Amino acid sequence: MAKNIVEKIWDSHVVYQEAGKPDLLYIDLHLIHEVTSPQAFEGLRLAGRKVRRPDLCFATMDHNVPTKNLPTINDPIAKKQIMTLADNAKEFGIQLADIGHPDQGIVHVIGPELGLTQPGKTIVCGDSHTSTHGAFGALAFGIGTSEVEHVLSTQTLWQSKPPTMEIRVNGQLGIGVAAKDIILAIIAKWGIGVGTGHIVEYTGEAIRNLSMEERMTICNMSIEAGAKAGLISPDQTTVEFLRERRFAPSAESFDEAANYWLSLASDTDCTYDVVLEINAEEIEPFVTWGTNPSMGTGVSKTVPTSADYTSESDKSALNKALTYMGLEEGQPISSIEIQHVFIGSCTNSRLSDLRTAANIIEGKKVAPGVNAIVVPGSYSTKAAAEKEGLHKIFLDAGFEWRESGCSACLGMNEDIIPFGERCASTSNRNFEGRQGAGARTHLVSPAMAAAAAIEGHFVDVRKYVTQVV
């Protein structure tokens, strides 16, 4: 019987199955960071339990780490949390990319970089953006701290098999339109709850044409559509990305592994519980105007008005969002002035993101009154970018070039947007207070963020990129 990739991976990971119970699933890779793990390790200690498979765990610090003046960590509570992870990794024998280690970085950036992320694996992390790893055709999802403890103890999780959803992106993406715009368009079209309870597979010509880094951007934001996980069937692009990565299969077994990975792709006549379709041609560079990721529109458009909504609860949500964001109904998106630009996060901080942004700003200057920072997703990304001289382009334009970490995506470190100020951000969430109390976040692609940095307000980046491509 024809199967989709979710069914193939699920069926091959069932440890125990019984009617009336969730399935007991084996977990192949457990990624760990400092914020959602301390209580789990403490739970193990209190119960006198061990980590069952430390060899299948990999830990790093990312959420709290400062992105300047390292190795000093000024915040004593953050420092304690970071030190606690180092102590726990040592006590339980888990491999750690510590602060200052060349492998350190955002957990969802380093997993793929190191080749830990591979097709067909079940991957979990105490972080909702674990869906990123689905770009490789892995079944990857975020879990809570109690589940982190459960995986540490048993290397398994009880999971009910969710229904599947295909989101097919037909046709070709326009020049200057990014993977970020695809996922923001999907969420705007169907809402932040569309994927709730489902695992999404992204398919179609536009998805097939994306690089691995672009696929990661799409899968990363699956959770912003409510999905449990989002993935893309592996193909030759996936295989080539993994070749010669440190934790990828060695040269002797690589071909065998690659054949297995390719066999996991959804069968052509497989089915899904829900199918949605969107045309890539109708997607333009996106900007969010509200306080959840579905509140976004094309850069040529205007902020909605209450007349655009029928239900009272939607009108009220619009009103609340615009009050928080300090915007007027019907205001053109291009008239929104920004004071901050953040290029970073597990969504858009990889080498290709930095290259795209650098292309836009090369030879130009950040607009007066705009603070712009670049936070590479990992030390490896940072080193690669510096080798190409990208840091010079950013610095010459007036950007700050920072150390790696989650940074202003959630502002757990000092990288906070001040009250009432506005940020063009390549991150994934524009919730109230996400980047700092009272901060106003607009989610955009790296190219759109770079263009906004130069002009001081949102602008259609396609006027820049037609010359570049």
Site for other proteins, rule CB under 8 A: 15-16, 20-22, 24, 26, 28, 35-36, 38-39, 42, 47, 49, 52, 63-64, 75, 77-78, 80-81, 84, 118, 126-128, 142-147, 149-150, 153-156, 158, 160, 162, 192-193, 196-197, 223-224, 226, 228, 249, 253, 256-257, 260, 292, 313, 317, 410-412, 419, 429, 431-434, 437-438
Residue 37 or residue 356: which is nearer to other proteins going by CB? 37
Residue 209 or residue 260: which is nearer to other proteins going by CB? 260
Asked whether the beta carbons of 336 and 325 are under 8 A apart, the reply is: no
Residue 12 or residue 69: which is nearer to other proteins going by CB? 12
Asked whether the beta carbons of 271 and 5 are under 8 A apart, the reply is: no
Asked whether the beta carbons of 405 and 386 are under 8 A apart, the reply is: no
Residue 60 or residue 156: which is nearer to other proteins going by CB? 156
Cβ–Cβ contacts within 10 Å for residue 314, how many?
A: 13
Give the Å distances, CA to CA, from 192 to 133, 184, 241, 268, 293: 20, 10, 30, 29, 7
Cβ burial, residue 74 (10 Å; 0-12/13-18/19+): exposed
Classified as helix, coil or strand, 124 is strand
Per this entry, what is the length of the chain? 469
**What is the smallest separation between the CB atom of 129 and other proteins, expressed in angstroms?**
9
**What is the smallest separation between the CB atom of 257 and other proteins, expressed in angstroms?**
4
Is the sign of the CA dihedral 131, 140, 54, 47 positive or negative? Answer: positive
Residue 49 or residue 355: which is nearer to other proteins going by CB? 49
Strand order in the sheet with 440-443: 400-401, 371-374, 340-343, 422-425, 440-443
**What is the smallest separation between the CB atom of 322 and other proteins, expressed in angstroms?**
15
**What is the smallest separation between the CB atom of 192 and other proteins, expressed in angstroms?**
6
Asked whether the beta carbons of 321 and 291 are under 8 A apart, the reply is: yes
DSSP category for residue 346? T
Residue 41 or residue 464: which is nearer to other proteins going by CB? 41
**What is the smallest separation between the CB atom of 124 and other proteins, expressed in angstroms?**
10
**What is the smallest separation between the CB atom of 367 and other proteins, expressed in angstroms?**
27
Q: What is the DSSP string of 362-428?
A: TT--PPTT-EEEE--SBHHHHHHHHHTTHHHHHHHHT-EE--SSSGGGTTSSS--PPTT-EEEE-SS
CA atoms of 108 and 296, how far apart (whole Å): 25
CA atoms of 280 and 258, how far apart (whole Å): 29
Residue 25 or residue 454: which is nearer to other proteins going by CB? 25
**What is the smallest separation between the CB atom of 240 and other proteins, expressed in angstroms?**
16
**What is the smallest separation between the CB atom of 434 and other proteins, expressed in angstroms?**
6
Is the sign of the CA dihedral 366, 290, 210, 197 positive or negative? Answer: positive
Helices (H), 165-278: 179-190, 205-208, 212-220, 236-242, 251-263
**What is the smallest separation between the CB atom of 222 and other proteins, expressed in angstroms?**
11
Residue 131 or residue 371: which is nearer to other proteins going by CB? 131
Q: 23 has which bridge partners?
A: 159
Binding site, by residue number, is 346, 406, 409
Asked whether the beta carbons of 5 and 265 are under 8 A apart, the reply is: yes
**What is the smallest separation between the CB atom of 451 and other proteins, expressed in angstroms?**
28
Binding site for [4Fe-4S] cluster, by residue number, is 346, 406, 409
Q: Which residues contact 218 (CB under 8 A, 6 or more apart)?
A: 135, 179, 182, 183, 202, 207, 210, 230, 232
Residue 292 or residue 306: which is nearer to other proteins going by CB? 292
Residue 431 or residue 466: which is nearer to other proteins going by CB? 431
CA nearest to 406, candidates 25, 61, 44, 12: 61
112-124 core/surface letters (b: 16 or more CB in 10 A; e: else): bbbbbbbbbbbbb
162 residue type, one letter:
P
